A and B are shown apart, each in its own frame.
Chain A
Amino acid sequence: MYKIKSNLILKCSFVCLLAAALAFLCLSVGFAQTTQIFRTYKTGVTARIPQTPEAIAAGKAIYEKRCYYCHGIKGDGNGPAAPRLDPKPRNFTRNEYKIRSTELGTLPTDEDLFRIITSGVEGTAMPFWSTLSSEERWQVIYYVKTFYEGFKESEAHEVVPISGEIPSDSESVKRGKELFKEAKCLLCHGEDGRADGQITTTLKGKWNFPYKARNLTKSWLFKGGNTTKDIYRTVTTGINETPMGTYADFLTDEDRWHLTHYVKTLSHDMNTEVVLKSKLVEGDLPEGPDGAAWDTVSSIEMPLAGQIVARPRLWIPSVNSIRIKSMYNKEDIVFLLEWDDKTNEQDETYSDAVALQFPTKIPEGMKKPYFAMGESGKSVTIWHWRAYDEFKQTEKNENGGNTEAATDGGSSVAEHEESEEQEEEKIAEEKPKEKFKGFATIKEMNAKGFKNLAEQPSNSQHSKSKSYWKNGKWKVMITRPLMTDDKKIDIQFETGKLIPYALAAWDGSNSEIGGQKSISSWYYLVLEITTPRSVYLYVLIAIIMGVSIQFWVIGRIRRFPPKITTEE
């Protein structure tokens, strides 16, 4: 009787302990996952089926069920969905096939088409069609080829060999960098590969489509793959009917490998994290977007989508991702936002801009305000930086002091009052100005829905910015005191809490303004705190408890060894 009881206790404690332990383990695993899927270029090709009239007919049926919405019923790239696409869908009635293993100007091989249909193209609307059986894919290819006469005339397209790959090393990359200049790659792709080269905005293809040079810093957007072999192939075969020609005659095979290795070093992968950690620093925060301290924190990158939640929608956004870093000290928090924009053209109406959005009050539970500018009863704070405004402000500040003094005494009462107000502001701003020299005040706003947006009064504008644009990239540093006096309209940053934030970006040269912007959904910001000592105490207690329970169990079993009955 006693034995059974002790067995039961043992069993129960075992089950409970292990279950609890594993529960913890599982809960700590795999939360911070994001669910990004990038289409990658796959080179595998399955055995082809014979090209028969039946196969073409079957291909036609599939095409008219799945493909024509973009590529058009006649294959002219003018389907009903095409106006909302950028880049535009491929026109099959002429040879503008871009990703090929064949020489520049020639048609792609069937295998090239198979690879593209199977892989899809990241950065465009083309999905991966590996969901169709390989037979179906071949049928579609045979049908697509009927749109262009050229496919009937020339039979064999020779595949340009990709061979003699040399290993990548610093020497090779260095040579590649020289070649990048020599071969004038940077005229379009830009010095740092951000597609901001001198002639990049004037680029046109043969049929007058605006053509964008590839941004070589975003590895996931390389058309036709981002492996060294893929890049080498693109440099060698060029892209039909675009300014990207072949470099096979201009550079030797070996040089093209050097160039490939250099291009590869320009690119980075998207590193998205759900939680942005703001690092605690003792003492001063970086004094500008180029402050050395920024190098000590790593950035995370958020993908952005066009704002299509409410009118006016933006179907073809320009900014597709933004990088963000943050740190804070006892008084202020700073953010560094970086994104690629190939032009720096600002005017009063259309200006490059970026916005950070927080809930006005850090939500206690999981329920956050609506991610797109809040909702009634749940307001959000928005810090809206505009390149044009900052430029105007810094211009004023630089030659401002004297003019203000001149107008100080005179003019009407109203103006006088205004200047008094301004002066008061000045006094209030005096302190932070010493800290963040040369920073401009940015617009703080509150929103309770798309149509309910209000600018904060001028004496509650606490965030400041400093920025610059170089080689196709904006670097904007934004700062605000952790706490402000306007507790009702400003977010108060608290350490250790998950604070939702969202991002928006506008590209002035793409005529983006107001609701026409790129947006993200909510992510989280955490002001990191050093691990409190109590944690280690808990751990110690837990270990001691674990050890004692363990030895108690062992001791108990050893004292009353379970009888192993040999028979049965």
Chain B
Amino acid sequence: MGKKKNSYSMILVIISILVVFVIIKYIAPYVFMIVLAKDHTMPTPSTLILWYMILAILGALVYVSTSDLKWAKFLSFILPAGDDKTKAILQKMIIVAFPVLVGWFVYSGTAPGTASPVELRIQHPTLLQEFEKLENPFAHVNEETKKRYIEEGKILYQQNCRPCHGSKADGNGPFANAFRLRPINFTDPGTIATVVESFAFWRIRDGGPGLPGASTPWDSAMPSWKDTLNDEQIWKIIMGEYVTAGVVARQREKIEH
């Protein structure tokens, strides 16, 4: 086999995997900052990086093994370089880099860690039975009253919820930085827009202390507001909160009709 047959497909695979990593790790935060109009970069969660990287590697390997020819070319990089000097250097680099990487992973995995633990939060604990059937008592008032209640709710929101969840309901209140689990961003379509109003009622009324024991830790700093706010005020806050955040609550599916 002559020089021309030398294939660099293994190098290409490695480079493309590195490119994917760089994109996810360093470029995506800025892209999402611009796309979602945020004021800060949006770092990709490490678990997500992990899955993307596994997918990228699998994808690359599936690609190189789609035909015997490609697979042979891919492996041929390991064959003696002959007088191709770049190939020889790259081969040496791979030979050195692989054990070093393995060693590094083992070291970072077993050395006494000072990395903080992963803290997962299930954003939607199962709604308790007693709240399941709860309806907003103001759901069917006339438009005029509704408008008034929403405004009252917005004011209550600004007085009580704003310090953490922020004036814009974006989870960026002045106290937000102090909490390791940042207060929820209500404008995010994945938060209050995906729950029914009675769920929000439960969370405001019972807060962090009222979360069920299953699938802990919750680590929520959400206060239990039943000590200061009555049920009517909480319902008004919910109405105001959804308007402030610019999202609507999920509607309960009607079983009949």
Contacts and interface: CB of A to CB of B under 8 A. Distances in A.
A36 B179 CA distance: 9
25 contacts: A7-B65, A21-B105, A25-B53, A28-B109, A30-B43, A34-B180, A38-B177, A69-B154, A125-B162, A128-B172, A130-B39, A367-B216, A370-B208, A375-B209, A521-B180, A521-B219, A521-B221, A526-B114, A529-B112, A539-B106, A540-B103, A543-B106, A546-B99, A550-B98, A554-B78
Given A31-B115, A70-B167, A538 B53 contact: no
Interface stretch (A225-233, A308-316, A475-483): A308-316
B76 A22 contact: no
Most buried by A among B100, B102, B164, B217: B102
B178 A558 contact: no
Nearest to B64: A11
Contacts of B122: none
B130 interface: no
A528 B216 CA distance: 27
Contacts of A125: 162-163, 167, 173-174
B189 interface: no
Interface string B71-102: 11101101110000000000000010011111
Range of interface residues on chain A? 35 or more
Interface string A518-546: 01111110101101101100111011011
A274 B116 contact: yes
Contacts of B50: 22-23, 26-27
B216 to A, nearest CB: 5
A460 to B, nearest CB: 28
Interface stretch (B196-204, B223-231, B248-256): B223-231
A26 B49 contact: yes
A460 B11 CA distance: 66
Nearest to B208: A370
A561 B107 CA distance: 34
A444 B58 CA distance: 56
A563 interface: yes
Given A309-B208, A368-B219, 10 more contacts: A22-B50, A35-B182, A39-B39, A130-B39, A305-B179, A306-B175, A368-B217, A542-B102, A550-B99, A561-B76
A557 B78 contact: yes
A543 B102 contact: yes
A25 B105 contact: yes
A454 interface: no
A543 B103 contact: yes
Given A10-B75, A31-B116, A547-B99, A521 B158 contact: no
Contact of A33 (B37, B39, B43, B179): B43
A522 B39 CA distance: 26
A365 B181 CA distance: 18
A308 B173 CA distance: 13
Contacts of A35: 177, 182
A207 interface: no
Nearest to B72: A562
B116 A539 contact: no
B174 A130 contact: no
A239 interface: no
A138 B68 CA distance: 63
B237 to A, nearest CB: 13
Interface string A268-297: 000000110100000000000000000000
A558 B221 CA distance: 60
B168 interface: yes
B227 A311 contact: yes
B111 interface: yes
Interface residues of B, number: 83
A131 B208 contact: no
A526 B114 CA distance: 7
Interface in B150-199: 154-155, 158-159, 162-164, 166-168, 170, 172-182
B155 A19 contact: no
Contacts of B223: 308-310
A18 interface: yes
Nearest to B48: A26
A559 to B, nearest CB: 11
A15 B164 CA distance: 45
A215 to B, nearest CB: 16
Contact of A131 (B105, B168, B227): B168
Given A15-B61, A26-B53, A32-B115, A131 B78 contact: no
A564 B46 contact: no
Contact of A538 (B110, B168, B175): B110
Most buried by A among B76, B95, B101, B176: B101
Contacts of B116: 31-32, 274-275, 498, 524
A19 B69 contact: no
B69 A15 contact: no
Contacts of A21: 101-102, 105
B57 A22 contact: yes
A534 B110 CA distance: 9
A29 interface: yes
B155 A81 contact: yes
A47 to B, nearest CB: 18
Contact of A520 (B105, B119, B178): B178
A14 interface: yes
A81 B158 contact: yes
B119 to A, nearest CB: 7
A279 to B, nearest CB: 11
Nearest to A272: B177
B144 to A, nearest CB: 17
A303 to B, nearest CB: 4
Contacts of A375: 209
B97 to A, nearest CB: 10
Interface in B29-63: 37, 39-40, 43, 46-47, 49-50, 53-54, 57-58, 61
A181 interface: no
Given A131-B37, A305-B164, A526-B114, A564 B175 contact: no
Given A15-B58, A34-B180, A561-B79, A535 B111 contact: yes
A542 B119 contact: no
Contacts of B61: 11, 14-15, 18
Contacts of A74: none
A304 interface: yes
Contacts of A50: none
Contact of B159 (A84, A367, A371): A84
B142 interface: no
